[in-house]
Structure formats: structure tokens, C-alpha cells
């Protein structure tokens, strides 16, 4: 099973962000963990990160024909990017929305996600281990056939 893990805005600076909120790991450390968890689950994972909304959307488009499941952490785009929402809506495979922090207990503007209702599963506020839960969910999910 091929899984694409897409990380959005500012996740490249993860190690500089508040460790109490974001888990105290760098993006490289997080991706190493993701690859290890994927291997354990017999998944093939590909991690990507960008600060460009257009590139993030292009990667979702790439997943239409190449992925069996998608993990997305759009970062702040989760709260307002209907362009990302529209791209995710066209996926023919399940996707899991992940947020390292507990967005439900943070600032008011972070509490709403425009992609939430489309996600097959959501993992909120579990730090880096949230990605493991997302991969476990996808490993146990039957993929919709095209």
C-alpha cells in the first residue's frame, strides 16, 4: 500500500516551534519515525513538505493516481484553504487529517478545519505519534476502488 504524507506550511521549522505544543522534534526526525512506522505496517510511505499552497495542491493531484491513502497536515491552511479542500475532495482514496497540537483547545481561529468533514479519520493533539495512528488507520482501511 502506497501512502503519501503531506505536511504544509511551517512544518519545516518544526524544531523551532514550542515543544510543549508541537512535540519537540524536527521535520527530519518526524519523517524518520513515519518511515519506520510505515515499514512496520508493511506500507510504503513518501513524505513531502512545502510552504507553497499551490505545490501542496499539486501533490494532492499527484496522489490521485499514485496513492492508496494520504496523510495530510496542512498546518494553518486547514483553517481557511478551500482550494486544498477542493483538491482533497477529489481523492478516490481515504485521507487522514493530522494536527500535532490540540487545535480544539487553541486560539478560536484554529478550531475549525475546512477539510475535517472530508477526512476518513482525524488525529488531533497527539504530537508526532498522531502520524503513527494515521498510518495504522490507513493500514486497516479498505481502499475504495476507482
Catalytic machinery residues = 22, 99
Give CA 83 to chain center in angstroms: 16
Length of the chain: 146
List of residues 6+ apart from 81 with CB closer than 8 A = 53, 74, 114
In whole angstroms, give the CA distance from residue 138 to residue 146.
17
Q: Look up residue 88 and give its three cell numbers.
A: 482533497
Amino acid at each position: 500500500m502506497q501512502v503519501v504524507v503531506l505536511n504544509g506550511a511551517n512544518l519545516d521549522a518544526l524544531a523551532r516551534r514550542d515543544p510543549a505544543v508541537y512535540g519537540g522534534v524536527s521535520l527530519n526526525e518526524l519523517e524518520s519515525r513515519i518511515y519506520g512506522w510505515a515499514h512496520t505496517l508493511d506500507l510504503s510511505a513518501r513524505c513531502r513538505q512545502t510552504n507553497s499552497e499551490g505545490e501542496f495542491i499539486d501533490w494532492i493531484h499527484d496522489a490521485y493516481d499514485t496513492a492508496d491513502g494520504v496523510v495530510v497536515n496542512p498546518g494553518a491552511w486547514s483553517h481557511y484553504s478551500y482550494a486544498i479542500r477542493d483538491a482533497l475532495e477529489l481523492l478516490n482514496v481515504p485521507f487522514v487529517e493530522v494536527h500535532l497540537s490540540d487545535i480544539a483547545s487553541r486560539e478560536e481561529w484554529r478550531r475549525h478545519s475546512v477539510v475535517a468533514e472530508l477526512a476518513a479519520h482525524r488525529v488531533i493533539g497527539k504530537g508526532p505519534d498522531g502520524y503513527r495512528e494515521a498510518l495504522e488507520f490507513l493500514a486497516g482501511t479498505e481502499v475504495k476502488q476507482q
